[in-house]
Amino acid sequence: MTAPARILVAEDEAEVGKLLHEILRGAGYEVELVTNGDQLVRRAQAQPPDLIIADLLMPLMDGLEAIRQLRNDTRTAHLPMLILTAIGDSSRIVEGFENGADDYITKPYHRDELLARVRSHLRRAAQLPQRNPLTGLPGNVVIQAEINRQLAQKVTFALLYIDLDNFKAFNDVYGFARGDRAIHLLARILQDQIKPGDFLGHIGGDDFVVLHFGTDVESLCQQIIRVFDEQIRSLYDEADLQRGYLLATDRYGVQRQFGIISLSIAVVTTYHRTFANVDEMSRVAAELKKAAKQIAGSSYKIDRRSDGRCDDSQAPTPIERRTGRSPDALIICQDAVARAAIVATLNVRGYRLFIADNEIAAQGLLAHEPQPKLVVAELFDLKTLTLWRQINHDTPLIALARTEQEVVNARTAGATTVIWLNNNPLDLSDQLQTALDTLSL
């Protein structure tokens, strides 16, 4: 059964928005309603819909500017976009077309006309070329059909869902032309590294899919990451490479240091489990990609489940929490042994972990989750303490110290508690457990 088309509606008048929602839902569409142009841009970029309907006059950002921004974004440029406008406002309609709108609907609108226009644009969008216009690779329709075909034939394969990290900051600083070069670079690397007979598709934006029919998926991920991490540096200005980061503003309006673009790869396989269809398989891939993005730098997560629980890190089962979403914890630690002990301890406590090995990498993570409930940080220098102060005055900091001077620095800066960083994982875990108990976390 084909999933219903998803329509994103931006309308700041509550009654009008409610009526649109009811009409479209009644016609069998999945509908999401937002109330301003800024929300429209963010939601469309985060999860591109099948069609957009935007009112012209809205707070924060009007419909014209929202459509202009979405047309300039490779993730959303191909979407059909309709504007809502008052009868007789011909100049605004012309301006809408000039900014990238495909059609318009006048208020008050007729139900049948609205649905006819929506059906027409969805039908036209479905008939567009089946290859991504930027890379020439098979697009979303072909990707879904190929995955469903392999599942129906019960073929053993691995799905790699590949995404760029820190890409928005790169695009904002260098412009969309160089951003397109980064996407082309990834496409070329994937074409070079996959095995004969594998399938490569470009979902859109910076999202790619590989169907790998061998059993060496882990080594394939490692090779893709190794080559990409080497070659992506060629797209940066030398001064930015020397500095190690770009200065850009995150989605919350905070200026941050963003590290070099990296890869997040989610791997879902039919090695030990079966999937009914592409929707089921892609849902698992999206969960794993989200987990991979919680680790700074290029990383991959492989689904090794047969019972529906993620077991990529073989971490203990988290303690059940009845207050909803698990609290976020930011870990900043270079020492691999210490980091593993901290991760295991906080997993048991039920935290959702964001893991970085330095302060710049941590800033990239905070651009997406800016308010962790706990910070556990190795003190490289005072920059780590400065970063903690910027998060939230109420967020506890458990500082990891190797020297007496680091202890003094942490306590002077107001760290909640300090534990000694040593080469004994059990001792470090015990210290952390005691600190958490003291904090009642």
SS3 content of the chain, % helix, strand, coil (to 5): 45, 20, 35
Cα(first)–Cα(last) distance of the chain, in Å?
46
* pLDDT tier for residue 128 given thresholds of 50, 70 and 90: low
Q: Which residues pair with 164 in a beta bridge?
A: 263
Look at residue 11 and tell me if it is in a domain. Answer: yes
- Asked if 145 and 291 sit in the same domain, the reply is yes
- Asked if 201 and 333 sit in the same domain, the reply is no
- Asked if 298 and 338 sit in the same domain, the reply is no
Distance separating alpha carbons of residues 428 and 436, to the nearest angstrom: 12
Q: In sequence order, which residues have a C-beta less than 8 Å from that of residue 145 and are 6 or more positions away?
A: none
Does pLDDT of 380 surpass 70?
A: no
Look at residue 310 and tell me if it is in a domain. Answer: no
Distance separating alpha carbons of residues 383 and 360, to the nearest angstrom: 9
For 152-192, write each residue's pLDDT tens digit.
889 999 999 999 999 999 999 999 999 999 999 999 999 99
The pair phi, psi for residue 227, each rounded to 5°, is -70, -40
Burial 17-53 (b: 16+ CB within 10 A, else e): beebbebbeebebebbbbbbbbbbbebbbeebbbbbb
Neighbours of 137 (CB within 10 A): 19
Number of domains in the chain: 3
Look at residue 134 and tell me if it is in a domain. Answer: no
Cis peptide, bond prior to residue 108, ω within 30 of zero: yes
The answer to whether the CB of 37 falls within 8 A of the CB of 62 is: yes
Does pLDDT of 93 surpass 90?
A: no
Q: In sequence order, which residues have a C-beta less than 8 Å from that of residue 441 and are 6 or more positions away?
A: 327, 349, 373, 374, 396
**196-205, 317-326, 394-403: segment of lowest average pLDDT:** 317-326
Supply the pLDDT for residue 313: 41
Supply the pLDDT for residue 312: 44
Last residue of a domain, one of 126, 149, 181: 126
**91-105, 182-196, 352-366, 394-408: segment of lowest average pLDDT:** 91-105
Mean pLDDT of 343-368: 88
Q: Residue written as tokens 């979303």?
A: 140
295: closest CA among 267, 251, 264?
264
Look at residue 309 and tell me if it is in a domain. Answer: no
Last residue of a domain, one of 78, 97, 126: 126
Look at residue 111 and tell me if it is in a domain. Answer: yes
Q: In sequence order, which residues have a C-beta less than 8 Å from that of residue 273 and are 6 or more positions away?
A: 305, 306
Supply the pLDDT for residue 76: 75
Strand 352-356 relative to strand 328-332: parallel, antiparallel, unpaired?
parallel
- Asked if 201 and 223 sit in the same domain, the reply is yes
* pLDDT tier for residue 429 given thresholds of 50, 70 and 90: very high
Q: Which residues pair with 163 in a beta bridge?
A: 207, 264
Mean pLDDT of 262-291: 93
Supply the pLDDT for residue 319: 36
Highest mean pLDDT pick, 4-18, 298-312, 386-400? 4-18
pTM of the model: 0.62
* pLDDT tier for residue 85 given thresholds of 50, 70 and 90: confident
Q: In sequence order, which residues have a C-beta less than 8 Å from that of residue 19 and are 6 or more positions away?
A: none
* pLDDT tier for residue 225 given thresholds of 50, 70 and 90: very high
Q: In sequence order, which residues have a C-beta less than 8 Å from that of residue 221 and are 6 or more positions away?
A: 160, 265, 267, 300, 302
- Asked if 181 and 298 sit in the same domain, the reply is yes
Burial class (CB in 10 A: 0-12, 13-18, 19+), 224: buried
* pLDDT tier for residue 99 given thresholds of 50, 70 and 90: confident
Look at residue 294 and tell me if it is in a domain. Answer: yes
- Asked if 30 and 74 sit in the same domain, the reply is yes
Last residue of a domain, one of 76, 94, 126: 126
Supply the pLDDT for residue 88: 61
Is 368 in a helix, a strand, or coil? coil
Of the chain, the percentage scoring pLDDT greater than 70 comes to 91
Supply the pLDDT for residue 367: 83
- Asked if 93 and 167 sit in the same domain, the reply is no
- Asked if 280 and 358 sit in the same domain, the reply is no
Does pLDDT of 62 surpass 90?
A: no
* pLDDT tier for residue 71 given thresholds of 50, 70 and 90: confident
**200-204, 252-256, 332-336, 340-344: segment of lowest average pLDDT:** 252-256
The pair phi, psi for residue 34, each rounded to 5°, is -125, 170
Is 105 in a helix, a strand, or coil? strand
228: closest CA among 175, 281, 191?
191
Supply the pLDDT for residue 21: 93
CA of 127: how far to CAs of 72, 130, 248, in Å? 22, 8, 38
Altogether, the residues listed in the chain come to a count of: 441
Residue 74 tokens, joined? 């490779």
- Asked if 154 and 213 sit in the same domain, the reply is yes
Q: Cα torsion at 49, 141, 201, 368 (round to 10°)? A: 10
Look at residue 61 and tell me if it is in a domain. Answer: yes
Does pLDDT of 316 surpass 50?
A: no
- Asked if 31 and 113 sit in the same domain, the reply is yes
Look at residue 80 and tell me if it is in a domain. Answer: yes
Distance separating alpha carbons of residues 5 and 25, to the nearest angstrom: 10
The answer to whether the CB of 259 falls within 8 A of the CB of 232 is: no
Supply the pLDDT for residue 309: 47
Mean pLDDT of 359-381: 84
**Whole-number average pLDDT of the chain:** 86
CATH number for 213 = 3.30.70.270
Q: What is the largest CA-CA distance in the chain?
A: 75
- Asked if 287 and 354 sit in the same domain, the reply is no
CATH number for 335 = 3.40.50.2300
Which of the pair, 371 or 242, is modelled with greater confidence? Answer: 242
Q: Which is it for the CA torsion 59, 65, 70, 72, positive or negative?
A: negative
Q: Which is it for the CA torsion 241, 203, 208, 279, positive or negative?
A: positive
Q: Which domain holds residue 111?
A: 6-126
Which of the pair, 149 or 1, is modelled with greater confidence? Answer: 149
- Asked if 145 and 220 sit in the same domain, the reply is yes
